[in-house]
Amino acid sequence: MVKVYTFLTRRLDMTHNDAVRVWTEEHAPLVVSTLGDRLSKYVTNVGLPLAAEQGGPDAPPWDGVDELWFDMTVDELKDAYKQAAPVLGPSEHKFLGNSQWMLVDEIVQTDDVGRPWQIKLIEPLVRRRDQDWDTFVDYWLNRHAPLVKETWGDGIVHYTTNPGLGNPFNSRMPEEGPPYDGVAQFHFAWDLDEYRQVVADTANVLVPDERAFVTSWRAVLVDEITQK
């Protein structure tokens, strides 16, 4: 199984809502029909504004995030994307200004199947510059992820850690690293106010541990739409 994230930013001449409409209602169905059975699962995640400390809501860091799962090898994925490009490329140009593509290794930490959830968080991470890749991944998966599960407990419905992989699509620089070192992703049972309160109440536990392996992160709350 291969998983791909794409962090999407709209064209500058479009509003967030107009770009989201074209993306989720026109482009996403085209992705499903073009890739067909090669696409195992596809979710579009519409970026939601976050409450600013002052002056009202902040715009999300991205207009949206694509998540795509493929039941194939990386080489087969490259071939599938190449075949689909003549169809999907012009469609992307209708709404997309910029994108960051990322192949990941999805590791499920918690999965309470069938349990209702209220909010979804996608959080790309950048490791500390004084750490190598193996040290970052080891700390994240074996020390921090268990601490997160212990600290947030039953509030987590679904939690995955997604270490970034090299970019095999770049023929000029085939060993190019991902735009982020990894992505933490959560579905929470809490509503938004409860989530904010829990984050504030547990910051003294989790933030110092995050600083042991992460130098920066960008969180986005999203509205998940299952396309396939």
CA 177 from centroid of its chain's CA atoms:
16
Answer whether residue 172 shows pLDDT above 60.
Answer: no
- Check: CB of residue 158 under 8 Å from CB of residue 224: no
The count of domains in the chain is 1
At 183, which CATH number? 3.30.70.100
Q: What is the mean pLDDT of residues 190-218?
A: 94
pLDDT tens-place string over residues 27-55: 999 999 999 999 999 999 999 987 554 45
% of the chain at pLDDT higher than 70: 93
> Coil, helix or strand for 133?
helix
pLDDT for residue 122 = 97
- Check: CB of residue 45 under 8 Å from CB of residue 121: no
pLDDT for residue 107 = 97
pLDDT for residue 177 = 76
The enclosing H or E element of 35 equals: helix 28-35
Q: Which residue range is the domain that position 109 belongs to?
A: 2-226
pLDDT for residue 218 = 85
Burial (CB < 10 A; 0-12, 13-18, 19+), residue 123, is: middle
Answer whether residue 97 shows pLDDT above 80.
Answer: yes
- Say which DSSP state 19 is in: H
CA atoms lying within 13 Å on the CB side of residue 177: 9
Q: What is the mean pLDDT of residues 50-76?
A: 80
Scanning 60-191, the segments in alpha helix (DSSP H) are: 74-92, 133-139, 145-152
